[in-house]
């Protein structure tokens, strides 16, 4: 269903970011850039619910990669099931390449630094332009290849490698599940395995299993290195 903003020529966007201040700043900056923010959410689950309803879907959905209730990758994957042609853009306050591989595989067109508003605006316009009614069926291809290789290090798109070929570090994925993030955050706070099990109401076996998955995602030698990486990249 076409909304009023689209009928009047403005590109309708929606934002998902767990940081209220960042959400307010993004909304203001993108409004000044000429876009219409039709809704904003701090929880991934709320955004998914809005996207299930066709009349609530924006022209482009911007998703922060590090949310409270789930990862941005989880949001992209879920939204893609309900709205397979809705263009998705990932945003992050960290290095975009950290999330790029998982986000692009989940259906996002690119992962962009939140600080690069100009790049965000360019990406929104390109996606919205390729998904116009004059090109029915173009949305899915646009979500995969709407950008030419960028000269900016603040954007990683489907046409770019998740990490530069000569990168010294492995292609780590920080797309942790909500439970994995909670466990690693508690370890980073100095909690013991027993304390974490009691606090989260899960078994130690579950914790060990989840830590093993995190280590695999981060290519970490042990739990301590995984915790250190989470502190560095996720500011735990």
pLDDT single digits (tens) 68-83: 888 888 899 999 999 9
Count of H helices and E strands in the chain? 11, 6
Q: Is the pLDDT at 164 greater than 60, yes or no?
A: no
* Type and span of the H or E element at 110: strand 110-113
Q: Which residues pair with 13 in a beta bridge?
A: 37, 60
Nearest CA among 181, 182, 174, 18 for reference residue 103: 174
- What size, in residues, is the chain? 236
- Report the predicted TM-score, pTM, of the whole model to 2 decimal places: 0.62
Residue for token digits 């299993």? 209
CA distance 6 to 18: 26
Q: What is the mean pLDDT of residues 20-37?
A: 94
* Range with the largest mean pLDDT of 58-72, 155-169, 221-235: 58-72
CA distance 179 to 71: 10
């Amino acid at each position: 269903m076409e909304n009023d903003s689209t009928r009047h020529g403005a590109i309708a966007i929606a934002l998902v970011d767990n940081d209220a201040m960042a959400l307010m700043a993004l909304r203001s900056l993108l409004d000044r850039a000429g876009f219409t923010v039709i809704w904003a959410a701090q929880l991934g689950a709320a955004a998914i619910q809005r996207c299930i309803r066709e009349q609530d879907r924006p022209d482009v959905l911007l998703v922060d990669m590090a949310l409270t209730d789930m990862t941005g990758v989880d949001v992209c994957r879920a939204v893609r099931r309900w709205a397979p042609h809705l263009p998705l853009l990932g945003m992050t306050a960290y290095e975009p390449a950290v999330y790029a591989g998982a986000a692009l595989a989940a259906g996002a067109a690119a992962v962009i630094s939140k600080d690069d508003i100009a790049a965000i605006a360019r990406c929104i316009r390109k996606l919205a332009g390729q998904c116009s009614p004059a090109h029915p069926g173009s949305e899915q291809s646009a979500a995969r290849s709407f950008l030419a290789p960028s000269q900016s290090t603040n954007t990683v798109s489907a046409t770019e490698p998740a990490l530069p070929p000569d990168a010294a570090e492995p292609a780590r994925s920080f797309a942790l599940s909500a439970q994995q993030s909670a466990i690693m955050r508690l370890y980073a706070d100095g909690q013991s395995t027993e304390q974490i099990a009691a606090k989260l109401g899960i078994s130690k076996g579950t914790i060990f299993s989840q830590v093993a998955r995190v280590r695999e995602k981060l290519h970490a030698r042990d739990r301590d290195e995984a915790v250190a990486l989470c502190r560095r990249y996720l500011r735990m």
